[in-house]
Amino acid sequence: MSESTTSKSPTVVDQVQRDHRKIEALLQRVTDEAGAARTEAFDELARYLEMHEAAEQAVVRPEITKVDEAEADSRQAEESKADDLIARLRSMPADSAEFDALFAKFRSAVLRHAQQEEREEHPELEANVSPERLVEMGKEFTQAEQEASD
């Protein structure tokens, strides 16, 4: 979690990284489950990713674009590819070999994307955005996730 601010309120970086840990757990759950439970786990993961990405698009992406447009473009391209993979995975039986192969690729891409955000994007935000604004963005991020989940 971010240590860039002395405020007790979570920053947007804290919020996004909290989501990343939940996404990692959901990815593992899909891997571990079988049958109907696997389908349910994947549906939960897909919904959570959609909510998370909507909040990132609304709050993080505009700010990082001001700081590093190339970084913002890279993350956006990764998210578009993930959306395509989710759509393909939704069209397959969760217990099929085809799903297993594509899900392995998807999982790897999602984990790599989160790592890139944490290594590249988050330090840039923390270095270029005031601690107060990062806390404000954290609140906006939570609100955007709530709106996306409705």
What are the domain boundaries of the chain?
A: 12-149
* pTM of the entire predicted model: 0.90
Per-residue pLDDT reduced to its tens digit, 73-116: 888 888 888 889 999 999 999 999 999 999 999 999 999 999 99
Q: What is the rounded distance in angstroms from the CA atom of residue 73 to the CA atom of residue 79?
A: 10
Residue predicted with more confidence, 52 or 150? 52
Name the percent of the chain lying above pLDDT 90: 80
Looking at domain 12-149, its CATH superfamily turns out to be nmb1532 protein domain like (1.20.120.520)
Query: What sections of the chain are H helices per DSSP?
Result: 12-32, 35-55, 61-67, 69-90, 97-116, 122-128, 131-149
pLDDT (0 to 100) of residue 79 = 84
Q: Indicate if the pLDDT at residue 53 is higher than 90.
A: yes
Q: Indicate if the pLDDT at residue 27 is higher than 70.
A: yes
